[in-house]
Amino acid sequence: MVPGNSLRQSLFRLALTADQVELFYSGAKTRVQVTDERGKTLNIPWSALVPFVTPLGVRGEFVIRYDENGKLRDLRRQDRR
């Protein structure tokens, strides 16, 4: 890999109810704090999770990739089979 060009990733689970999601849509909150599988605390912008909202809220296991400065590069739901 080229130095300074590597992406890091973390795996986390998230379960937000529809009522909790409403706090983000109302603007009362803009970031979601989660703990990854290794115990690292991550603060994710709400806008990155919007594509995963359902009428029941947001649920699932997610993989986030970020650069060496902590800038979000990719977020996807991890399907378990």
Does residue 54 sit in helix, strand or coil? strand
User: Tens of pLDDT along 24-76?
Assistant: 999 989 999 999 999 999 999 999 999 999 999 999 999 999 999 989 999 99
As a whole number of angstroms, the distance between CA 25 and CA 19 comes to 10
As a whole number of angstroms, the distance between CA 27 and CA 16 comes to 16
Predicted confidence band at 6 (pLDDT cuts at 50, 70, 90)? confident
pLDDT of residue 32: 96
